[in-house]
Amino acid sequence: MSGMPAGKVNDMAPRTVARLTGAFYLAFVLASLLAGLVGHIGMGGAEQVNESIATNPLSFRLALVIAYLSAVFFLAAAWGLYVLLRPVNGHLALLFLLLNAVGVGIQCASMIPLISALLQQDGAGHLQAYSAAQLEASAYLSIDVYKTAFATAQLFFGTWLFPLGYLVFKSGFLPKFLGVILIVDGVGVIIWFLQALLLPDYPAISYPSFAVGFIAEVGLALWLLIMAVKVVDAEEDLPD
Determine which of 24-38, 49-63, 85-99, 133-147 has the lowest per-residue pLDDT on average: 133-147
Hey, which residues does 9 pair with through a beta bridge? Answer: 12
Instruction: Give the pLDDT of residue 205.
Output: 87
How many Cβ atoms sit within 10 Å of the Cβ of residue 178? 21
| Confidence band of 11 (pLDDT split at 50, 70, 90) | low
Which residue in 202, 187, 219, 175 sits closest to 29, CA to CA?
219
Average pLDDT over every residue of 29-44: 92
Q: Which DSSP string do the residues of 117-152 spell out, in sequence order?
A: HHHHHHT-GGGGGS-HHHHHHHHHHHHHHHHHHHHH
pTM of the complete model: 0.85
Q: Where are the domains of the chain?
A: 19-230
Digit-coded pLDDT (tens) for 123-151: 555 566 556 667 677 888 889 999 999 99
